[in-house]
């Protein structure tokens, strides 16, 4: 039983000191990757052995973290971090704990998963060479998210780390990560695949009429060449589905467990707030509470509460300007208050809120990241 005093003590402990997995969710353009990096620095500062799994960092951020390597990460956008795969690298710094960073390479992670689950090296080779398989990471929605979740699990089980922070891929919906294990199991478990394989097993009778229509339909729609790829893929994959599915279940359990703290990252703009409200609702559907809401790039407070002249043209330029920024900050805080209320309604729980003021230049070097990390300590 959690007493009020315990709850209070817990609340006083910063997220990076108490969580073992932090999952950062948020729409594109809200500063998710930067925030994950700053959270990781806060974790290292709190004495944790922290690893951050970043997805597609902008060049300058990758440089700041020392994970850019010699490859141009910008040109590898969407292809995963070409160059050095998923292996974490340690970043030295003045922290009490440790800081490691890894860049998600979904294709390499998928390849590793296939190799792990294949019965023989030949089977792995066959799957890896299949054209449909090569398309999977770029076309099956949820695959990149699943690979992020799969890497999350591996890092969580890795004795070198006691805090894993995950930046999520730029999905259409922030929530795709949580749905990805189910989606992938459904794909490999698909009835269509069983029916396609059935004739090869000589159980033609099992192929019911409805499924035959589906197979014919697919072939009519996309042409037989593409359908052959599907058949080859599932034939090569045969026998691996069991291991694949039970792994997906483990990943799913981890995502649903209390080991994972969900952080929602937003910007204080109408569109971002709307997206965040939607995401909060979907998290609530899955009974996952939002631990912390981080709102990035708030207009700085230049002295809110000060009575200034209006924005009218008669006012001095200095006061017009001050009033404009004050008004903007107020409207941003109104939106944040609306979001907090809707999270409270959806989950029955108010999240902790961290507001990050905009800096006049983008947060892109390690000093700026360290300044930002202090907000999470």
CB of 268 to other proteins, least distance (A): 5
Strand ranges of the sheet holding 163-167, from the earlier edge strand across to the other edge: 89-91, 98-103, 49-54, 163-167, 21-26, 260-267, 290-298, 352-357
3-class secondary-structure state, position 289: coil
Q: Where are the beta strands (DSSP E) in the chain?
A: 21-26, 49-54, 89-91, 98-103, 163-167, 260-267, 290-298, 352-357
CB of 328 to other proteins, least distance (A): 5
CB of 365 to other proteins, least distance (A): 12
Name, in order, each residue with C-beta under 8 angstroms of 259's C-beta and a sequence gap of 6 or more.
Answer: 20, 21, 156
No. of H helices and E strands in the chain?
16, 8
Q: Which is nearer to other proteins, 233 or 376 (CB)?
A: 233
CB of 92 to other proteins, least distance (A): 26
Q: Which is nearer to other proteins, 70 or 360 (CB)?
A: 360
Q: Which is nearer to other proteins, 86 or 195 (CB)?
A: 195
CB of 90 to other proteins, least distance (A): 26
CB of 29 to other proteins, least distance (A): 2
Name, in order, each residue with C-beta under 8 angstroms of 313's C-beta and a sequence gap of 6 or more.
Answer: 320
Q: Which is nearer to other proteins, 230 or 248 (CB)?
A: 230
The answer to whether the CB of 115 falls within 8 A of the CB of 89 is no
Q: Which is nearer to other proteins, 3 or 139 (CB)?
A: 139
CB of 31 to other proteins, least distance (A): 9
Q: Which is nearer to other proteins, 38 or 335 (CB)?
A: 335
Q: Which is nearer to other proteins, 16 or 354 (CB)?
A: 354
Per DSSP, the residues of 171-215 read: -SSTTHHHHHHHHHHHHHT-HHHHHHHGGGGT-GGGS-HHHHHHH
3-class secondary-structure state, position 342: helix
Neighbours of 363 (CB within 10 A): 22
Question: Burial level of 213, CB count in 10 A (0-12/13-18/19+)?
Answer: exposed
Q: Which is nearer to other proteins, 119 or 222 (CB)?
A: 222
| Residue among 361, 351, 352, 311 at smallest CA distance from 331 | 311
CB of 198 to other proteins, least distance (A): 15
Cα angle: 351, vertex 354, 359; to 5 degrees: 155
What's the gap between Cα 260 and its chain centre?
12
Q: Which is nearer to other proteins, 158 or 229 (CB)?
A: 229
CB of 16 to other proteins, least distance (A): 25
What residues are paired with 163 via a beta bridge? Answer: 50
């Amino acid at each position: 039983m959690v007493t009020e005093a315990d709850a209070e003590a817990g609340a006083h402990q910063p997220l990076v000191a108490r969580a073992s997995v932090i999952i950062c969710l948020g729409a594109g353009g809200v500063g998710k990757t930067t925030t994950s990096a700053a959270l990781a620095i806060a974790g290292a500062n709190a004495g944790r052995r922290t690893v951050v799994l970043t997805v597609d960092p902008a060049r300058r951020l990758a440089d700041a973290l020392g994970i850019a390597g010699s490859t141009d990460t910008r040109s590898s956008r969407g292809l995963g971090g070409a160059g050095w795969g998923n292996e974490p690298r340690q970043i030295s710094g003045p922290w009490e704990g440790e800081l490691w960073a890894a860049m998600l390479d979904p294709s390499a992670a998928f390849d590793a998963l296939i190799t792990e689950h294949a019965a023989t090296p030949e089977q792995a080779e066959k799957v890896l060479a299949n054209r449909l398989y090569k398309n999977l990471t770029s076309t099956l929605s949820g695959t990149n998210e699943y690979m992020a979740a799969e890497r999350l699990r591996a890092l969580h089980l890795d004795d070198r780390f006691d805090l894993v922070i995950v930046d999520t891929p730029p999905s259409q919906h922030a929530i795709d990560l949580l749905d990805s294990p189910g989606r992938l199991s459904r794909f490999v478990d698909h009835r269509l695949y069983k029916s396609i394989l059935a004739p090869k097993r000589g159980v033609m009778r099992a192929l019911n009429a409805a499924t035959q229509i589906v197979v014919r339909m697919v072939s009519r729609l996309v042409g037989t060449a593409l359908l052959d790829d599907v058949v080859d893929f599932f034939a090569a994959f045969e026998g691996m589905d069991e291991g694949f599915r039970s792994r997906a279940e483990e990943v799913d359990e981890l995502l649903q467990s209390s080991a994972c703290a969900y952080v929602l990252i937003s910007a204080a703009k109408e569109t971002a707030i709307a997206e965040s409200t939607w995401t909060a609702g979907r998290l609530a559907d899955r009974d996952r509470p939002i631990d912390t809401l981080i709102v990035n790039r708030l207009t700085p407070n230049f002295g809110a509460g000060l009575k200034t002249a209006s924005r009218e043209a008669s006012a001095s330029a200095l006061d017009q300007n001050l009033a404009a920024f004050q008004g903007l900050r107020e409207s941003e805080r109104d939106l944040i208050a609306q979001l907090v209320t809707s999270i409270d309604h959806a989950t029955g729980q108010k999240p902790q809120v961290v507001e990050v003021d905009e800096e006049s230049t983008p947060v892109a070097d390690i000093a700026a990241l360290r300044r930002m990390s202090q907000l999470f300590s």
